[in-house]
């Protein structure tokens, strides 16, 4: 997931082994960008403390690049990683004590969080699978593809992602074209009105790698002679691409 894409969705190899990801989608109020980012720096301190206590495994901010603009639904994502479902229920335990421990000036900024931005929505994702380059520490850019899987189509979709396409992702990583790949599923909310129910997250160290022409060489190396038409059918027949987002990691606990 998330996802997970999740999702961002400074992923590490320990976080892509069935962990959960809480994603808060944020919209900055007009003229409040600098204030919002200053506020998130203090939230970073809080989350670093939570990580040291073992409450979370990581946290970061992903700023939207594409799509962007005033009409965008949200401007950035606050992404929190935890080991298991129970950890989500205890994220805010002892919050009063954590807030009280802040210096007075920082506490005053945190108390005004809602003045700087609105939380548009929140989602919980589960990370299903992931692969990463050797000695992976984090990635600068996140490309998340949101998908809708047809009814009774999950077996075909999972086979496509984990058996057919995953080896190509690994080849791209081996060739230095990307830093990692994550597959995730939405846990909550769910329902027929949800536009997507899963995503894949491609992780990149450099902007130019996002549109790297070497991807075709990776496909040829894994499936020599296989036509683009056949590849497209194997992929597109299993899900509908709802949208793709490009984001930059601008703050993180790691």
Cβ 10 vs Cβ 139: under 8 Å:
yes
Q: What is the average pLDDT value for the chain, to the nearest integer?
A: 90
Q: pLDDT at position 224, please? A: 97
Torsion over CA: 49, 52, 53, 56 (sign): positive
The CATH number of the structural domain formed by 20-252 is 3.30.70.100
d(CA 5, CA 128): 10
Task: Give pTM, 2 decimals.
Answer: 0.88
Would you kindly state where each structural domain of the chain is located, as residue ranges? 20-252
CA distances for 71 relative to 67, 74, 225, angstroms: 9, 9, 44
pLDDT in tens, 87-103: 999 888 888 888 878 89
What tens digit of pLDDT does each residue of 102-141 get?
899 999 999 999 999 999 999 999 999 999 999 888 899 9
> Exposed (0-12), middle (13-18) or buried (19+): which is 252, by Cβ within 10 Å?
middle
* Distance in angstroms (rounded) separating the CA atoms of residues 184 and 20: 9
149, 198 Cβ separation under 8 angstroms: yes
DSSP E strand stretches across 83-179: 117-132, 141-148
- For position 97, what pLDDT does the model report? 82
Question: Could you give the 3-state DSSP secondary structure of residue 56?
Answer: coil
Q: How many C-beta atoms surround the C-beta of residue 5 within 10 A?
A: 33
pLDDT of residue 15: 41
């Amino acid at each position: 997931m998330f996802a997970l894409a999740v999702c961002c969705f400074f992923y590490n190899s320990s976080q892509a082994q069935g962990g959960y990801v809480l994603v808060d989608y944020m919209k900055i109020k007009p003229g409040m960008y600098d204030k919002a980012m200053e506020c998130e720096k203090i939230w970073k301190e809080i989350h670093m403390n939570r990580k040291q206590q073992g409450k979370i495994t990581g946290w970061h901010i992903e700023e939207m690049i594409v799509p962007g603009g005033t009409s965008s639904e949200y401007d950035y994502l606050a992404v929190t990683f935890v080991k298991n479902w129970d950890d989500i229920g205890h994220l805010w335990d002892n919050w009063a004590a954590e807030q009280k421990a802040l210096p007075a000036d920082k506490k005053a900024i945190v108390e005004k969080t809602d003045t700087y931005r609105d939380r548009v929505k929140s989602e919980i994702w589960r990370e299903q699978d992931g692969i990463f380059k050797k000695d992976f520490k984090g990635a600068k850019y996140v490309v998340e593809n949101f998908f809708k899987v047809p009814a009774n189509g999950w077996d075909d979709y999972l086979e496509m992602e984990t058996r057919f396409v995953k080896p190509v992702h690994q080849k791209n990583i081996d060739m230095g074209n990307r830093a990692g790949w994550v597959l995730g599923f939405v846990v909550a909310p769910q329902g027929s009105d949800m536009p997507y129910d899963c995503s894949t997250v491609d992780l990149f160290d450099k902007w130019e790698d996002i549109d790297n022409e070497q991807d075709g060489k990776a496909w040829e190396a894994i499936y020599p002679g296989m036509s683009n038409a056949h590849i497209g059918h194997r992929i597109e027949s299993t899900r509908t691409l709802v949208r793709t987002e490009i984001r930059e990691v601008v703050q993180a606990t790691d």
